[in-house]
Homo-oligomer: A and B are copies of this chain.
């Protein structure tokens, strides 16, 4: 695993054990697809990262410096995942942050997941998401709910698990957003009470002709005409089945995958 660690702009050899990322999950992160040596959708990932840092009042690192490191790690990689973590840095013991924290930046390179050509099987998760608007929409390091939810199955034929909030509204999968078509219109759950505003979700909200953020119940989802998941590592993933409920191949989703691949060649499906 190739790794770079910075304290502010300075390279350091290792992570300090008093880093607030470790002690409190006090930071934000992105997982970025690398395609032909290039971090895909870098501006969108950087924008979400900096939004999260601002919401937590963590100083935003200099983009030029972080991007230079990212490009060095990505160089020569046909397909990989670049993980970028920014924490509030060190700061002794206790919840009160330093007045002038120096953030820790960690870049690491990982194997990319394969693209999935067909449709996937999913299940419901029992773990529900707590409603916390202060921590909703951005990608912070407090991710125990996702860990608990993803720990609910090891059957490799189940690709993802769908999560509801404590009030029974559908929110997301453990590592993807959800879109469904109901009466010809695309809907995706709101992410202002919990959940993450995904990058591919953002692309779809801009590029779908008829789409809306909405509150959707589990029953509402089961009644939809077509269903897919999406994230910035896998693109668009059509759902074949959820428990006993099955959906046929959908021409609208196929067209959408085609449009995504035209906009971003990293999402061209293997032949």
Q: What residues make up the interface of A, taking CB atoms closer than 8 Å to B?
A: 1, 3, 5, 13-15, 17-26, 29, 31, 56-57, 81, 83, 85, 87, 92-97, 99, 106, 108, 110, 127, 130-132, 134-135, 140-151, 154, 166, 174-175
Instruction: Contact check, B24 vs A143: say whether CB atoms are below 8 A apart.
Output: yes
Task: List 5 A-B pairs, minimum CB-CB distance, nearest first.
Answer: A25-B25, A130-B130, A130-B132, A95-B150, A142-B142
Other CB < 8 Å A-B pairs besides A1-B18, A96-B151, 20 of them? A14-B14, A15-B15, A15-B22, A17-B85, A19-B22, A21-B22, A22-B22, A22-B85, A22-B87, A23-B141, A25-B143, A31-B93, A56-B144, A95-B174, A96-B154, A131-B166, A141-B144, A142-B142, A142-B143, A142-B144
Q: Complex formed: what's the CA distance from A140 to B148 in Å?
A: 13
What distance in Å separates the Cβ of A56 from its nearest Cβ neighbour in chain B? 7
Q: Complex formed: what's the CA distance from A81 to B97 in Å?
A: 18
Q: Complex formed: what's the CA distance from A17 to B97 in Å?
A: 22
Which one of B5, B13, B127 contacts A134 once the chains associate, using CB atoms below 8 Å? B127
Contact partners of A24 in chain B: CB under 8 A: 25, 141-144, 146-147
Which one of B81, B93, B131, B150 contacts A93 once the chains associate, using CB atoms below 8 Å? B81
Q: If A24-B25, A85-B22 touch, does A144 touch B149 (CB 8 Å cutoff)?
A: no
Instruction: Contact check, B144 vs A135: say whether CB atoms are below 8 A apart.
Output: yes
Which one of B20, B57, B93 contacts A83 once the chains associate, using CB atoms below 8 Å? B93
Q: Complex formed: what's the CA distance from A143 to B245 in Å?
A: 38
Q: If A24-B146, A143-B142, A144-B142 touch, does A154 touch B14 (CB 8 Å cutoff)?
A: no
What distance in Å separates the Cβ of A160 from its nearest Cβ neighbour in chain B? 11
Q: List 15 A-B contacts (CB under 8 A).
A: A14-B15, A15-B17, A22-B106, A23-B143, A31-B93, A57-B151, A95-B146, A95-B151, A96-B151, A99-B154, A131-B131, A134-B148, A135-B145, A142-B143, A142-B144
